[in-house]
Structure 1
Amino acid sequence: MFFKSYFTSILLIGFFLNSSVVTSQRRAKESAKIEDSAPLKTTPKLIVGIVVDQMRYDYLTRFWNHYGDDGFKRLVNEGFNCKNNHFNYAPTSTGPGHASVYTGATPSIHGIIGNNWYDKETDKPVYCAADDSYETVGATTAAGKMSPHRMTVTTITDQLRLHTQMKGKVVAIALKDRGAVLPGGHTANAAYWFLGGGEGKWISSNYYMQNLPKWVVDFNSSKVVEKYKKPWNTIEDITSYEESGPDNNTYEGLYTGESTPTFPHDLPGLWDKNSKYELLKVTPFGNSITTDFAIDAIKGEQLGTDNITDFLAISFSSTDYVGHWFGVNSKEIQDTYIRLDRDLERLLKYLDSKVGAGEYTVFLTADHGAINVPAYLKDQRIPSGYINRAEIQSELGEFIKYKYGSTALIKNYSNNQLFLDHKIIQNLDLNPKEVQETLANELLSYNTFEKVYTAYQMRNNEYTTGIPYIIQNGYNMKRSGDILVVPKPGIIDYSKTGSTHGSAQIYDTHTPLLFYGKGIIPGSTALRTEIPDIAPTIATLLGIAFPNGTTGKPITQVLE
């Protein structure tokens, strides 16, 4: 009886084990089938890349209750929100920001190390998008002498063009030339930017075209821009703007002709004293003009009307102008974002009607964040302050003259980088590494600097975390300086009014990243993502090659 019971137990165990194996195998096969049936690629009719210039992540949360359901909230609630998204390099400024979003790389790779920088080969400062080889299209000024030639790698927009045998259209739009030229990449069909002053129209470069297309000419000759020459008052009751500071304070800049930085701002009355149409850039109306033009571009270029994916790159620049002028805690910045939310709603609804709901994919991010006005922080007893550049130059000059007998060792100081004259160093029979270390130690003794690194350190070490990791990703061996300084948190080189950016500190690196639309899984993550992850994520979604300098990784949680 015992043997019979024992034998039966063995059979039962064997049965359950076999059954478990079979079940496990069946589940594995089902899982494989699911994976096999997953789409090789997603084919939206249109990709819309949106960069909001100088957008801190907390602008999403801070002004949330003022947003409507179909702008930022639609992107967050129906899309994917990367809550812990950061720039992984410095300087955090517009040119490098746009280049990094679209190349999937950092300045160490793509070469755009600032908006402007000292060029060691020509011994002159250069602008990131300037190119005297080309002429302006649409105006008689030099404002269109631009191209992406200083960006040394491809963009996601280039890769789309290459993948589709140049059939997929790429159009890039921004008030700022660099906000259009760099996202458009080397192969864009068109890039357009806004000419202010007495012009008030959109222009381009003959890098892209010989003449403006009819739809642009029609836009420029219409009265669309003129309607924004009006007083700027808050779009909602100003007393409801409890998420920002007092309207009248000493931390904000003034338009020329104003006595207080308060609403309403009489734009028609201030027009001539503030360069006419240039004034619109420093108001939320600049974003509305950009939206108007983007909608006309979708229609005029017939974007998203066939099965070959097109790409529209939009940069909203006025948020940066307003932030610089009035600061991140101003009523003006709050009103600008509430109005931008309505412009986004208008854009998304047009995409629904023209391209088709569910037929397009959007990502929204920023090119950098911004610091709260240090003068305001100081009044709140938060450590902060301003760099006295003249004092530092004088003190450093005296040190160099005492140590080496000549101040000619320094060729340039810009973007928190010191460039040395290596010919003079060689003539004085000095060791470049030792000179770098000596000057770095001297600068580190100055009260405003937290950290100082040398080019030798950047070239010979590999940093993986913290500030040195961020500095190294911004260091380009051919273009960057010999000594790189990091101001203390809260310390900036700027005026006493308005906000700025550019540092490796977290208030400049933490920016929003939202994905929405076709091929995107709704959700969110608090895991760290980085700006160079955007381009490979879009490339993976489309099933195309990554930009050729990519260092970022696809954000897998985002994709279906």
Structure 2
Amino acid sequence: MTKKFFLYAIAALGTLQSAAAQPRLIVQIVVGSMRGEDLDRYAENFGEGGFRRLTEGGTVYADSRYDYLQTTTPVSLATLTTGAMPSTHGVIGSRWVDYTTNRTVELTAGRKGPGAYHLIAPTLAETLLRHAPGSRAVTIAPEAVSAVVTAGHGGEVFWLDSARCDWVTSPYYAAEVPEWIARSNRERYNLSYISGEWRTLLERGRYLNTRNYDIALSGKSKKDKDQSGSGRLKLRSDFERMLYTPAGNTAVLGLAKQAIAQYRLGEDKIPDLLNVCLDSPRRISEAYGPESIEVEDMYYRLDRDLADFLTFVFAQVKDGSVTVVLTSDHGTSPAFDAGAEEADRFNPRQFEVIVNGFLNVRYGVGDWVVDYSDKCLWLNHNLIYERGLNLAEVQNEVAIFAMQFSGISHALAATAMRTSYFGSGYARRMQNSFYPRRSGDVILNLMPGWIEEQERCWSMSGSMYGYDTEVPLVFYGKGAGMQRVNRRVDMTAVAPTLARLAGIREPAASEGGVLEEIAE
């Protein structure tokens, strides 16, 4: 009897300790295209209450990475929120080709507007709502794809409308936005974040980067004239002025504060989740490159916005029972024009045309190539079968032919991905990105530094190289001590760690291990 009572007491003590470590609110902040080095690179000009509050008072994972090729925003957000590789969660890009119809499938498109129609693996938000009755999950992002992929099938989900720059949702999630958001939209409150001119926050001598285009460099005094850039983007709408300037970050964090207050997040002991996706840093990095003053200044302004946001969050939630995780969906490449000479870029359209011509010569005239997107080339399976050809042989021929193009480092056929196991090297990372029902017939890997030619893109993500795969990862607040961890961490660990912290089961498809410094 005494022994049984002793065992019950131990179990009860464990339950109490678990409850004590469980935060009332988990806030996940994803800064688009933030490289792993950026927090240290710009630290000297950060204030004490923003990024440095997190890095100096929390658990910093100094070597956190995505271990696959397709380091693009929808793919990596899916990995962050499901804890799974793309080969498991099935998000291989924002679109792909249905092999049976040869039609393009958009990841979030459907009859009820943007929604999780094609998301396979459950997200952290879905898992929390299912296993913690009474909890809330709120997701906010400027772009619909980011919001939908991060949220999954449930919760409160908001993004910016490209026509009026209002906060919206879709009938997939709710019939309409709450009245407090509708009122803000009627007042056109988001437009107050947009300034007529983008000027540096600090005087120009304090900046580490030297390239500027659309930002005016402030002098030390009124006598010291401002320096204008050479000019690059012509922003055509309020939505673009929001997305391609620091105003986008301010607006998202502003709505996040309202959501905490209006939904009373963290009010009771049942854990809530707030996902904050910042897409503006990615758009600014793409348009100006990570070497630009525009990117640097955006970080300094975000640092101030973040300080204000953190102060609000920890004051709003009882006893400061909050866990904040700061990370990124991927890094970004060097700008193709950052060197003494412009680097060559890969032309996807030219690649499609030449490959189709090659197959015309080999097998007769036809529309052999259906589409190309995110390093994937889709072939016309119906035509291949009509001509009595072997699909695997055609795929392999195209993969071999692709290696003749400048900028292509590796090309693997889908058949090789399906029938082989690659345990290391570039092929393993390519296979980690491969989902058989959606991925192309031939997958490409470009050489280091090479990017695709795209409008408004001087820098891009989507490679297996360190500048894309290495990202910051910081936990702060409840459950996170002040320490720096130097071992390598896979980003599939974030979702299961947060699930353990919230006292719920890991998302069903999760493959990552729980970070022992946070959840043990």
> Following the alignment from structure 2 to structure 1, what is the Cα–Cα distance between the partners of residues 102 and 31?
33
In structure 2, the partner of 1:200 is 165
Does the alignment pair 1:227 with 2:192?
yes
The worse-fitting range, judged by mean Cα deviation, of 426-435 and 495-504 is 495-504
> Following the alignment from structure 1 to structure 2, what is the Cα–Cα distance between the partners of residues 428 and 265?
52
Do the aligned residues in 2 keep the contact of 1:530 with 1:552 (CA within 8 Å)? yes
> Following the alignment from structure 1 to structure 2, what is the Cα–Cα distance between the partners of residues 518 and 40?
12
The worse-fitting range, judged by mean Cα deviation, of 513-522 and 495-504 is 495-504
CA pair 80-264 structure 1, distance change in 2 beyond 3 A: farther
CA pair 215-418 structure 1, distance change in 2 beyond 3 A: same
Pairing 1:61-72 to 2, within 5 Å after superposition: 61-72=40-51
In structure 1, the partner of 2:154 is 187
The worse-fitting range, judged by mean Cα deviation, of 63-72 and 408-417 is 408-417
Deviation at 1:414, TM superposition (A): 1.7
CA pair 164-447 structure 1, distance change in 2 beyond 3 A: same
Pairing 1:114-193 to 2, within 5 Å after superposition: 114-132=93-111, 134=112, 145-165=113-133, 167-188=134-155, 190-193=156-159
Does the alignment pair 1:501 with 2:479?
no
Deviation at 1:297, TM superposition (A): 0.7
Deviation at 1:445, TM superposition (A): 2.4
Q: What's the secondary structure of 2:201's corresponding residue?
A: coil
Does the alignment pair 1:530 with 2:490?
yes
Deviation at 1:373, TM superposition (A): 0.8
Do the aligned residues in 1 keep the contact of 2:212 with 2:230 (CA within 8 Å)? no
Gaps of 5+ in 2: 1-9, 215-226
In structure 2, the partner of 1:317 is 279
Read off the aligned partner of 2:493 and give its amino acid letter. D
Do the aligned residues in 2 keep the contact of 1:232 with 1:263 (CA within 8 Å)? no
> Following the alignment from structure 1 to structure 2, what is the Cα–Cα distance between the partners of residues 517 and 545?
21
> Following the alignment from structure 1 to structure 2, what is the Cα–Cα distance between the partners of residues 357 and 327?
41
Read off the aligned partner of 1:70 and give its amino acid letter. G
Aligned residues: 498
> Following the alignment from structure 2 to structure 1, what is the Cα–Cα distance between the partners of residues 301 and 231?
16
Deviation at 1:526, TM superposition (A): 2.0
Q: What's the secondary structure of 2:330's corresponding residue?
A: coil
Deviation at 1:447, TM superposition (A): 2.5
Read off the aligned partner of 2:468 and give its amino acid letter. D
Does the alignment pair 1:404 with 2:401?
no
Do the aligned residues in 2 keep the contact of 1:48 with 1:314 (CA within 8 Å)? yes
Q: What's the secondary structure of 1:191's corresponding residue?
A: strand
Do the aligned residues in 2 keep the contact of 1:375 with 1:385 (CA within 8 Å)? no
Does the alignment pair 1:375 with 2:337?
yes
In structure 2, the partner of 1:472 is 431
Read off the aligned partner of 2:159 and give its amino acid letter. W
> Following the alignment from structure 1 to structure 2, what is the Cα–Cα distance between the partners of residues 459 and 211?
43
Read off the aligned partner of 1:200 and give its amino acid letter. C
Do the aligned residues in 2 keep the contact of 1:522 with 1:558 (CA within 8 Å)? no
Do the aligned residues in 2 keep the contact of 1:532 with 1:550 (CA within 8 Å)? yes
CA pair 214-398 structure 1, distance change in 2 beyond 3 A: closer
CA pair 452-497 structure 1, distance change in 2 beyond 3 A: closer
Q: Deviations over 1:423-444 (max 9, x none)?
A: 3222322222222211111111
The worse-fitting range, judged by mean Cα deviation, of 398-407 and 314-323 is 398-407
Deviation at 1:521, TM superposition (A): 2.7
Pick one of 58, 63, 66 that aligns with 1:79. 58
Read off the aligned partner of 2:336 and give its amino acid letter. P
Read off the aligned partner of 1:511 and give its amino acid letter. V
CA pair 292-154 structure 1, distance change in 2 beyond 3 A: same
Q: Deviations over 1:271-310 (max 9, x none)?
A: xx61134312110011001111110111111111111111
C-alpha RMSD of the superposition: 2.6
Does the alignment pair 1:295 with 2:257?
yes
CA pair 297-342 structure 1, distance change in 2 beyond 3 A: same
Pairing 1:239-318 to 2, within 5 Å after superposition: 239-241=205-207, 243-248=208-213, 262=228, 274-318=236-280
Q: What's the secondary structure of 1:379's corresponding residue?
A: coil
Q: What's the secondary structure of 1:227's corresponding residue?
A: helix
Pick one of 33, 53, 57 that aligns with 2:32. 53
> Following the alignment from structure 1 to structure 2, what is the Cα–Cα distance between the partners of residues 61 and 203?
35
Gaps of 5+ in 1: 1-31, 135-144, 250-260
Pick one of 65, 68, 88 that aligns with 1:89. 68
The worse-fitting range, judged by mean Cα deviation, of 416-425 and 468-477 is 416-425
Pick one of 190, 204, 220 that aligns with 1:238. 204
> Following the alignment from structure 2 to structure 1, what is the Cα–Cα distance between the partners of residues 322 and 182?
27
In structure 1, the partner of 2:6 is none
Do the aligned residues in 1 keep the contact of 2:345 with 2:452 (CA within 8 Å)? yes
Q: What's the secondary structure of 1:408's corresponding residue?
A: coil
Pick one of 345, 348, 357 that aligns with 1:386. 345
Do the aligned residues in 1 keep the contact of 2:352 with 2:372 (CA within 8 Å)? no
